[in-house]
Amino acid sequence: MSAPLRVAVAGLGTVGAGTVRLLQAEAALLARRCGRPIALAAVAARDRTRDRGVALAGVPWFDDAVAMATEADAEVIVELIGGAEGVARRVCESALAAGRHVVTANKALIAHHGTALAESAETRGVTLGFEAAVTGGIPVIKGLREGLAANRVSEVHGILNGTCNYILTKMRLTGRDFDEVLSEAQALGYAEADPSFDVDGIDAAHKLAILAAVAFGCPVRFAPANVEGIRHITADDIAFAEDLGYRVKLLGIARLGDQLIEQRVHPCLVPIDSPVAAVEDVFNAVIAEGDFVDRVTLVGRGAGAGPTASAVVADIVDIAVGRRTPTFGVPADALDSRALAPLSARVGCYYLRLMVRDEVGVLAQIARALAAESVSIEQFIQRRRDPGGLVPVVLTTHATGEEQMMRGLATLRTLDCVNDHCLIRIESF
């Protein structure tokens, strides 16, 4: 059997401790599959006294993770600290500069600096592994980059944030509104005390930027202007969507166009019979379209110590057996440089709920405002009456341009009869 592959782990939080636990628990299996042992050579974390439920006796400990990246007796540095900047970024840059392989679960780091890190890794002939950065234990990076290497991937979309999917699922099943279900998700540990990163779509947008880079062989580009979260979705919207034959999902969508690349995250109405509509609770899903394979769907748990550690160790195994591919499927100097399309370039159908005063002529005012922007209404729904009070009016449109729809909505907001609104894009996958 060959000499051990020596691995140093920076960060011993949930995923870091889970990675160490997996390496120890499955040591014999990993050695058999790799033809060599995988040895824990060092760890770095701030608190030496905390019980993490793993055996660390005799393992060299670094208080300074950046120092460990260059000084530890290790060929692989695993960064599990998190954050796009600061220590995490310095650990990865220092390790690559020293000619060491890097494995990370840090989606924000790869979304913001992945292209530069990939160039550094390829220049030095080492690996930058980030399977764990997207959808936890679902092997989507390897699936796109290696499994679909013979295909021209034209589209990748999916549910990339388990917290949002849990919230939307519970809202549909219980009829409760966003704030109440969010509180429940926080109590269960599915949402952070500050949930903004998840519910405002940033987490999903980081992951989508990485998926687009791997699917299309382009630079990683985070596009915050094309990101919208789920705070404005109500239980009424979810119920209306169901009546119309749709489910509400927060989706990341990337498409390869002739001139531009679409890359956007926002809530969508999707047909109830579509693959993505059936993915519920905290599960994630990624659907890719290839020219020869047609449609591939991957579903699984997108977070948690076990699934994420599994993905981290999968990258370590690749390094141990000598499997190497270009970081984003093609060499860094051959990445496709076509620009990202703005959200304003979208053409499609829309769902619009308006809270309006129940009085004569309101529907005519709405129709005129939209017609002025050439927005064609497909159907109107009004199921409640409250003369003089506020009632929901729901409409869906035929395919129209985003800019036209936004102009029409701006006009609607100026009408005295309109009190509130919710706009959701419709995607017919």
Angle of helix 362-371 relative to helix 402-413, nearest 10 degrees, comes to 140
Both structure tokens of 203: 């987490």
Q: Which of 107, 142, 170, 207 is catalytic?
A: 207
Count of other CB atoms within 10 angstroms of residue 179: 8
Which strand ranges, in their side-by-side order, compose the sheet holding 128-129?
A: 61-62, 38-44, 5-10, 76-79, 101-104, 128-129
- Choose among 108, 84, 81: nearest CA to 12: 81
- Which H/E stretch holds residue 185? helix 178-187
Count of other CB atoms within 10 angstroms of residue 386: 9
Q: What is the CA radius of gyration of the chain?
A: 24
| Strand ranges (E), 38-118 | 38-44, 61-62, 76-79, 101-104
3-class secondary-structure state, position 258:
coil
- Which H/E stretch holds residue 289? strand 283-290
207 is catalytic: yes
Which backbone phi and psi does 259 adopt, to 5 degrees? Answer: -115, -35
Which backbone phi and psi does 96 adopt, to 5 degrees? Answer: -65, -40
The H-assigned helical ranges of 26-61 are 27-34
DSSP characters for 368-395? HHHHTTTPPEEEEE-----BTSEEEEEE
d(CA 242, CA 238): 6
List residues bridging with 380 in a β-sheet. 395
d(CA 80, CA 71): 18
d(CA 88, CA 111): 13
Q: Which amino acids are annotated catalytic?
A: 207
